[in-house]
Every structure is written in structure tokens, then in C-alpha cells.
């Protein structure tokens, strides 16, 4: 079983350093420890739980105006903190 990954300030800083659109909305999509699909905006302004990967990715893409590289898939478990 993969360890749970929480989106930390270090990960957010690394994502910001990757490209010129660092101040724009960007999302991480993955599964939580229970297997639900999660989309999390890296600044904590948006996010949610979804029934499928497609639904999570569609939401994140819509929220980022379908910008290339604005949505990243996580291979590790992530957790949405409310």
C-alpha cells in the first residue's frame, strides 16, 4: 500500500517553480486513502471528492480553463483536508 501524501508547502513551492503560470490555479488529482478520487487546487481555494478519475480531471480542467500542465496526476495517495 502506498503512503498517504498530503499536499504540503514544499510540494506547492516545487509546483510554483515549474512554470510561468505559477500564480494561476493548478490542481493535483489522485486518490485518497479510501480510494476516492480527489482534485485539490494547490492554494487550497478549491477541490472536492469525485466518483471517478474522469470526473476529478474534468473538474480540474474546467477550473483551469483547460490550460496545458495545469492539472497533475499523483501516483501517490493524497488527502483533501476540509
The pLDDT of residue 80: 83
The pLDDT of residue 50: 96
The pLDDT of residue 82: 74
What is the rounded distance in angstroms from the CA atom of residue 5 to the CA atom of residue 40?
Answer: 12
Q: Count Cα neighbours of 13 within 13 Å in the Cβ-side half-sphere.
A: 3
What is the rounded distance in angstroms from the CA atom of residue 78 to the CA atom of residue 4?
Answer: 6
Task: Return per-residue pLDDT of the chain as tens, 82 residues.
Answer: 444 445 543 344 344 444 444 557 799 999 999 999 999 999 888 999 999 999 999 999 999 999 999 999 999 999 888 7
The pLDDT of residue 14: 41
Q: Are strands 47-50 and 71-73 parallel, antiparallel or unpaired?
A: unpaired
Amino acid at each position: 500500500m502506498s503512503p498517504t501524501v498530503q499536499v504540503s508547502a514544499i510540494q506547492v513551492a516545487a509546483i510554483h517553480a515549474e512554470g510561468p503560470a505559477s500564480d494561476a490555479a493548478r490542481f493535483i488529482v489522485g486518490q485518497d486513502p479510501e480510494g476516492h478520487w480527489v482534485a485539490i487546487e494547490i492554494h487550497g481555494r478549491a477541490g472536492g471528492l469525485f466518483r471517478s478519475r474522469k470526473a476529478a480531471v474534468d473538474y480540474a480542467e474546467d477550473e483551469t480553463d483547460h490550460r496545458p500542465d495545469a492539472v497533475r496526476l499523483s501516483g501517490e495517495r493524497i488527502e483533501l483536508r476540509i
